Structure 1
Amino acid sequence: MVDKDRFDTVCDMVVNSVATREGIGTLSEKTLHSVLKNYYEPDNSKQEIKIGAKVADIFNEAGIIEIQTKQFNKLRGKLSVFLPKHPVTIVYPIACCKWICWIDETTGEVSPRRKSPKKGKPHQIFVELYKIKEYLDNPNLRLRIVMVEVEEYRFLNGWSRDRKKGSSCSDRIPIGLEEEITINAVSDYRKMIPKELPEQFTTKDYSKIAKVSITLAQVSLNVMCSVGVINFVGKQGRLKLYERGYEDVV
């Protein structure tokens, strides 16, 4: 259940902490990760818990929660250890709305924020899920896609004339929680299949209706095929043809 008020309270607590006031991007743990960890488990005694040779972000009565902002491939070792014995929820934040602030490394000056035209989509998680496909049908694995509004601070250290292209990110600070999408069983991946799709559809159809790039559509369909919520049924010209999987997928 989304609790936007409590999320805002946690944001204020983390952003206004002493560590954060010392400077943007100086935290050893990035702000977005820290906010999410404290939002899902405010009790510090249940954070950073050693289980075997691995350390879980959160371990409480609901099981293990891992906050992962990128690079799901780094979760492989933890999943191999955790999943046989515990329910594991991977929390993945996506910026549905982003404000950009630029930091001049020489002067320390921070520009006024400007809204990015790019809007994140829940389907972006498939790029990461592709890296852990072999674990996705494990009944102990759950996913939580968290759509957030963020302020992103970037250094003016890129290779282009305006120093923006190729620049590095200093920190992402959440300023609002919009939506949570939960996948608690393989059948829940159907949430990622637009209802407007025909019975049989191509990658191009999915791209157009889901409003994602062809590349992201290809990865999304690859992952959903691997868990069985859609099936590859042949080709339509040069394009692969898919249909929804059987309703008994659990």
Structure 2
Amino acid sequence: MTGTKNIQSNFIGTLNETTLHADLKWFLSESHDQLEKQVENYVIDIVRDDLLIEIQTSNFANIRKKLENLLQNYRIHLVHPIVRDKWIGSLDSQLNKVIRRRLSPKHCSYIDIFEELIRIPTMITHPNFSIELLLVQIEEIREKNSQVSWRRKGWGINDKKLVRILERKQFKNPDDFLCFIPKSLETPFTNLELAQSLKKPVRLAGKISYCLRKMGMLNVVGKRGNAYLFDF
């Protein structure tokens, strides 16, 4: 695990947060920090002197307006976990016990941040904003729920818990995101060529090029057939 704290999976936070969110807040906090402090009209996860630290485990759209308003007057550090490994536990609600576990076949990496970054692509250009990615392992607890979609076969998510923090990576300005573009990729390039170079779906490559354009790191310089050409 990165850092010096052991993960306390039984840590209980406030404001109906998930155990994962509470665990991350506990891991990131320092002795002099203020937790769940109100700043203007918002509750902030961690306040460290003049820095506001916000943890967002999913869906950046939910926090976009909050960040936009606070960035006018405060420095903000957004922390987001990237789930490399996820164990799925099936909870027997009568026994209140996880009866079986399996490892999910889905494994994410840092580059998957663009799935969320597409909701706030210009925010990294603000001098008061920075983002930190935590590469983590988690456990997702599921239990039977009759109101859950048939696609999940009646199993709903009960909670998520942090198992381990593997790595940490910070981004402070748009230039930092160019690390995701392979040096071997010839310019100009299309989304298809970017996808092939990364060995990732074209859909993700499109989100990467969109975000980098919004950051001012990439330009459309023409077309090859129906595909846009990008260059720095």
- Give the TM-score, by structure 2 length: 0.87
Which one of 130, 133, 149 corresponds to residue 118 of structure 2? 130
* CA distance in structure 1 between the aligned counterparts of 2:156 and 2:218, rounded to whole angstroms: 38
What corresponds to 2:177 in structure 1? 189
Identity between Structure 1 and Structure 2 (%): 30
Instruction: Report the secondary structure of 1:120's partner residue.
Output: coil
- Number of the residue aligned with 2:4: 6
Distance 1:61 1:186 in 2: 25
* Cα distance per residue 1:130-163 (max 9 Å; x no partner): 2223433111110111110111112344544xx7
Structure 1 equivalent of residue 163 of structure 2: 175
Q: Tell me how far apart the structure 1 counterparts of residues 37 and 214 of structure 2 sit (CA, whole Å).
A: 32
Aligned position for 2:106: 118
Q: Is structure 2 residue 54 aligned with structure 1 residue 70?
A: no
1:150 pairs with one of 132, 138, 160: 138
Which residue, 51, 56, 71 being the options, matches 1:83?
71
**Contact 2:58–2:116 (CA<8 Å) still a contact in 1?**
yes
Name the CA distance, whole Å, in 2 between partners of 1:241 and 1:70.
Answer: 31
- Deviation of the 1:177 alpha carbon: 1.2
- Pick closer, same or farther for the CA change 1:129–1:65 going to 2, 3 Å: same
Unaligned stretches of 5+ residues in structure 2: none
Pairing 1:222–2:210 present:
yes
Q: 8 Å contact 2:122–2:215 — kept in the other structure?
A: no
Secondary structure of the residue that 2:61 maps to in structure 1? Answer: helix
1:57 aligned to which of 38, 45, 70? 45
Per the TM alignment, residue 221 of structure 1 is displaced from its structure 2 partner at its CA by 1.2
Q: Which runs of 5+ in 1 are unaligned?
A: 21-26, 246-250
TM-score (structure 1 length as normaliser)? 0.81
1:108 offset after TM fit, Å? 4.4
Q: Which residue of 2 aligns with 1:239?
A: 227
Give the one of 65, 68, 84 matched to 1:96.
84
Residue of structure 2 aligned with 1:203, choices 191, 195, 199: 191
C-alpha contact 1:156 1:164 (8 A) present in aligned 2: no
- For 2:54 and 2:138, locate their aligned partners in 1 and report how far apart those are by CA, in whole Å: 20
Does residue 213 in structure 1 map to residue 201 in structure 2? yes
Find the aligned partners of 1:65 and 1:211 in 2 and give their Cα distance.
33
Letter in 1 for 2:156: S
SS at match of 1:102: strand
Please state how far the C-alpha of 1:188 moved relative to its aligned partner.
0.8
Distance 1:98 1:147 in 2: 11
1:74 alignment partner AA: N
| Count of paired positions | 230
